[in-house]
């Protein structure tokens, strides 16, 4: 049976990661969280004063960095130059820094090349902002996952609460809006729905329902191929 490339794009808090991980699990595919790659790079850039570094320096840094997404006991772990940064990349500051670093064309070029290398053989569920538009414009199945801004912010806020981060809901809504704006309005590879992407609104859906829907769509694609 053909091993598909499944692209899932969408804004912050749309449920992409949970859904993509579950779809990969159900199909026996590899799960690739491309946001984690931007986050890992942002984490590396921060102590060096990212605001001061030029775009060229950051692009060079991207080329000199080794980011590894490993599946360990069913969970994905992220290694930055050999160091496990799985938890460190999830803080709100790194979220903001990642969306800032993601506007730099030289940085995107390096990470997109790596994403293509990882996914080219198929059997992959890759999630991000530009997977169906730029990374794999010929992906077998494209999903654009979204939800209302309030529901997305609330999901993010709950995640922070569970991790013990003290951040209030109003501030989370602001941060989600900031990141949305930056991700949608940037010149290079902005977040947008590919014309042939299936639009799924998860405002009133559980992640499991969304994942099942995507698996059904994938099976339909496979039956036709």
Binding-site ranges for ligand DC (CB under 6 A): 12, 34-35, 38-39, 95, 98-99, 102, 128-130, 179, 183
Q: Which is nearer to ligand DC, 44 or 179 (CB)?
A: 179
Backbone angle region of 144, left / alpha / beta, with phi > 0 → left and psi within -120 to 50 → alpha: beta
Surface-to-core class of residue 156, CB atoms within 10 Å of its CB (0-12 exposed, 13-18 middle, 19+ buried)? buried
Nearer to ligand DC, 114 or 130 (CB): 130
CB of 36 to ligand DC, least distance (A): 6
Give the DSSP per-residue string, 16-83. Answer: HHHHHHHHHHHHT-EEEEHHHHHHHHHHHHGGG-TTTS-HHHHHHHHHT--EEEEEETTEEEEEETTE
Smallest distance, ligand DC to C-beta of residue 12, A:
5
Distance, CA of 39 to CA of 33 (rounded, Å): 10
Task: Report the interhelical angle of 34-45 vs 105-119 (nearest 10°).
Answer: 140
Closest CB to ligand DC among residues 39, 142: 39
Rank residues 173 and 222 by Cβ distance to ligand DC and give the closer one: 173
Q: What are the φ and ψ backbone dihedral angles of 28, each rounded to 5 degrees?
A: 70, 35
Counting every residue written for the chain, the total comes to: 225
Least CB distance to ligand DC at residue 218 (A): 20
Q: Which two tokens stand for residue 70?
A: 């490993």
Q: Smaller CB distance to ligand DC: residue 119 or 128?
A: 128
Closest CB 163 distance from ligand DC, rounded Å: 14
Shortest Å, Cβ 48 to ligand DC:
19
Q: Phi and psi (nearest 5°) for 84?
A: -75, 115
Neighbours of 45 (CB within 10 A): 22
Of 31 and 38, which has the nearer Cβ to ligand DC? Answer: 38
Minimum distance of ligand DC from residue 93's CB (angstroms): 12
């Amino acid at each position: 049976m053909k091993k598909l490339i499944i692209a899932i794009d969408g804004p912050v808090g749309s449920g992409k990661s949970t859904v993509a991980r579950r779809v990969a699990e159900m199909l026996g595919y590899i799960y690739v969280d491309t946001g984690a790659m931007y986050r890992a790079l942002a984490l590396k850039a921060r102590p060096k004063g990212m605001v001061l570094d030029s775009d060229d320096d950051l692009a060079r840094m991207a080329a000199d960095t080794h980011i590894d997404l490993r599946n360990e006991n069913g969970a994905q772990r992220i290694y930055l130059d050999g160091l496990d940064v799985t938890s460190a990349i999830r803080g709100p500051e790194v979220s903001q820094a990642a969306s800032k670093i993601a506007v730099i064309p030289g940085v995107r070029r390096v990470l997109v090349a790596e994403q293509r290398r990882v996914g080219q053989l198929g059997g992959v569920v890759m999630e991000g902002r530009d997977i169906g538009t730029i990374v794999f414009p010929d992906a077998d199945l494209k999903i654009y996952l979204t939800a209302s801004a309030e529901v997305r912010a609330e999901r993010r806020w709950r995640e922070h609460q569970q991790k013990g981060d003290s951040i209030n809901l109003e501030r989370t809504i602001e941060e989600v809006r900031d990141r949305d704006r930056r991700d949608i309005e940037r010149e290079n590879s902005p977040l947008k729905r590919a014309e042939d992407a299936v639009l799924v609104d998860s405002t009133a859906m559980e992640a499991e329902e969304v994942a099942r829907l995507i698996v059904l769509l994938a099976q339909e694609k496979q039956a036709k191929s």
